[in-house]
Amino acid sequence: MAWVIVANKPLYPVTIWWFVGGGFEPSLATLIAAPLYAAVPFLARRAPLMARVATPAVGLADTLLATKVFGPGSGTELFLFACGLLAALSFRPHEVWWSRGLIGLIFVAFVAMRLGGGAALYALPPDQLGRLLGLNIFSSASLFAFIGLRFAGADRE
């Protein structure tokens, strides 16, 4: 999963530039998470549990940053569903408390952003914000589907 995200990370700012028409420069802030995602496969070799924790945790931080940059009207918070799905599906049965803890953390972060996230650091005009919302709806749904397909029928023993 981490490699898929790393491979797509550089495309996000370009896609914003292409489809939205504004917000390219602030979207570069989301590239901060790319090295963290890239570290996950290497972490998995030495500490598989920590790699399973790191993927949704990095996703959470990445999503919170993007939401702060563009604001809640941008739809970036929708990526939290993919983070939650990863937290629900990537752990083994005896690691259930890691899963539950991450799901709880993701939900609390979502509520905190909705209640007190403040204004966007980069406010897009309404037409561009609408296009960014559409892009993020499609992108987050695609990631959600990819995660679901990846883990469908997986033996988590």
pLDDT at 117: 84
Residue 49 makes CB contacts below 8 A (sequence gap 6+) with 95, 98
Task: Summarize pLDDT for 22-77 with one digit per residue, the tens.
Answer: 999 999 999 999 999 999 999 999 999 999 999 999 999 999 999 999 998 999 99
pLDDT at 34: 96
* Residue 154 confidence (pLDDT) above 80: no
Does 94 reside within a domain?
Answer: yes
Residue 22 makes CB contacts below 8 A (sequence gap 6+) with 124, 125, 128
What pTM does this model have? 0.92
* Residue 157 confidence (pLDDT) above 70: no
Q: Residues 31, 36, 39, 44: is their CA dihedral positive or negative?
A: negative
pLDDT at 156: 63
Q: Residues 79, 113, 62, 40: is their CA dihedral positive or negative?
A: negative
* Residue 78 confidence (pLDDT) above 90: yes
Neighbours of 116 (CB within 10 A): 7
Does 156 reside within a domain?
Answer: no
Mean pLDDT of 98-108: 98
- Owner of token pair 């397909």: 149
Q: How confident is the model at residue 118 (pLDDT cuts 50, 70, 90)?
A: confident
Does 157 reside within a domain?
Answer: no
Does 81 reside within a domain?
Answer: yes
**Domain count of the fold of the chain:** 1
In whole numbers, what is the pLDDT of the chain averaged over residues? 94
State the angle between helix axes of 96-116 and 48-70 in degrees (0 to 180), rounded to the nearest 10: 10
Domain that holds residue 69: 2-151
Nearest Cα residue to 34 out of 69, 4, 71: 4
Q: Residues 119, 123, 125, 127: is their CA dihedral positive or negative?
A: negative
Question: CB of 62 within 8 A of CB of 33?
Answer: yes
